[in-house]
């Protein structure tokens, strides 16, 4: 089943498209979307079509920061009822816990994880490429731009994170990135995410309204019962985040989900999957992304795919693709 995302993810698309010299209605129709889709924010649309729309828009406009431009003026209201609940939480940490809980109602291809280490908090995001495999750069920049806007709703418009990390290389023009994120940006990083101080994360929200939060909670609980994620979706999202750390056994995934390993095995088997086959599918997707779409050193690619040594990655890649990773990159360069 295709992953779905709220049409609200396209908020500001038409404005950015026109500013980039494009006809937004034509671009939407070309991607198989209604030209009025921005008027129906709660409509669930295929992630693949959104990815196609953003990638084609970049190619036709030459604007490498297209997705980021869409994020620049996002508000919590663009998240619908989830945004209402987020707005009235006691702390930013509580708000992001809510976002993780209801992520499937917003975007079935996006995974969010929060990790704390001493006085630092890592807000990590990962995105499925979709089928056919599509470049994810625009979608991840849009997602992180929206995340930063959300955090500034709590911490103030001038707040700056310690660092913003992107797995992909830097664009030629960094003006939009600096305008939104500041100068603490790291490209070719090990993960996509935002790094901030624990004190920022736990600061109290003086505008929290518990009564409104309860009302929004009731709306969301009714909706969530209709869209409960499957075990396969839960395990896949968790694996996508844990794989680069080398901590991605079925036991570790089960621990992260708060269930027993046997529960994970049984849930996957009921859907005709196994943990090993699912990890293999994710590695195929990530290999295409990091080998073909980037110039990241192959030793790093091996680590991001969860291989303990570059030689193991090399053997796996040749078996799957019939050539070496270096040969794949050479073919990309020559256009063969």
Q: What is the pLDDT of residues 86-124, one digit of tens each?
A: 888 999 999 999 898 888 778 888 888 898 888 999 999
Q: Which of 123, 122, 137 is nearest to 168 (CA)?
A: 137
pLDDT for residue 226: 46
Has residue 20 got a pLDDT over 80?
yes
pLDDT for residue 141: 96
Q: Return d(Cα 315, Cα 319) in angstroms, integer.
A: 6
Q: Which of 233, 168, 289, 192 is nearest to 4 (CA)?
A: 233
The fold of 231-334 is: Arc Repressor Mutant, subunit A (1.10.10)
**Share of residues in the chain with pLDDT > 70 (%):** 93
Q: Which of 30-39, 51-60, 200-209, 294-303 has the highest mean pLDDT?
A: 51-60
- Measured between alpha carbons, how far is residue 124 from residues 45, 152, 166, 180, 276 in Å? 24, 17, 10, 18, 24
pLDDT for residue 334: 64
- CATH 1.10.10.60, the chain: domain bounds: 231-334
The two three-digit tokens of residue 113, written as one number = 């994880």
Phi, psi at 327, each rounded to 5°: -65, -35
Local structure of residue 2 (DSSP, 8 states): -
**Share of residues in the chain with pLDDT > 90 (%):** 41
Rounded mean pLDDT, 52-80:
93
Q: DSSP characters for 81-112?
A: HHHHHHHTSSBHHHHHHHHHHTHHHHBTTEEE
Q: Which CATH architecture has domain 4-201?
A: Alpha-Beta Complex (3.90)
The pTM of this model reads: 0.73
- Other Cβ atoms within 10 Å of 201 Cβ, number: 22
């Amino acid at each position: 089943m295709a992953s779905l995302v709220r049409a609200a993810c396209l908020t500001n698309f038409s404005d950015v498209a026109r500013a980039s010299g494009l006809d937004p209605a034509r671009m939407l129709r070309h991607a198989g979307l209604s030209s009025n889709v921005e008027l129906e924010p709660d409509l669930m649309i295929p992630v693949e079509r959104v990815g196609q729309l953003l990638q084609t828009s970049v190619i036709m406009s030459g604007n490498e920061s297209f997705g980021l431009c869409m994020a620049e003026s996002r508000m919590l209201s663009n998240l619908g009822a989830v945004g209402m609940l987020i707005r009235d939480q006691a702390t930013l940490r509580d708000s992001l816990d809510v976002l993780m809980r209801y992520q499937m109602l917003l975007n079935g291809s996006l995974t969010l994880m929060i990790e704390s280490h001493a006085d630092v908090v890592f807000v990590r995001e990962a995105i499925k490429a979709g089928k056919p495999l599509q470049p994810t750069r625009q979608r991840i920049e849009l997602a992180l731009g929206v995340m930063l806007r959300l955090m500034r709703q709590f911490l103030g418009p001038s707040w700056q994170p310690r660092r913003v990390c992107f797995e992909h290389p830097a664009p030629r023009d960094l003006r939009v990135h600096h305008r939104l994120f500041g100068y603490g940006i790291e490209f070719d990083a090990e993960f996509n995410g935002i790094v901030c101080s624990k004190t920022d994360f736990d600061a109290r929200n003086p505008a929290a309204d518990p009564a409104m939060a309860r009302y929004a909670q009731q709306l969301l609980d009714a909706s969530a019962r209709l869209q409960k994620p499957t075990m396969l979706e839960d395990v896949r999202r968790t694996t996508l985040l844990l794989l680069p750390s080398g901590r991605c056994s079925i036991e570790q995934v089960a621990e992260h989900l708060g269930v027993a390993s046997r529960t994970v095995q049984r849930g996957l088997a009921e859907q005709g999957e196994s943990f090993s086959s699912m990890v293999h599918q994710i590695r195929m997707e990530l290999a295409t992304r990091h080998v073909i779409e980037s110039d990241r050193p192959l030793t790093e690619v091996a680590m991001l795919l969860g291989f303990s040594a570059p030689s193991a990655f090399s053997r796996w890649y040749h078996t799957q693709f019939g050539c070496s990773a270096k040969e794949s990159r050479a073919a990309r360069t020559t256009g063969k």
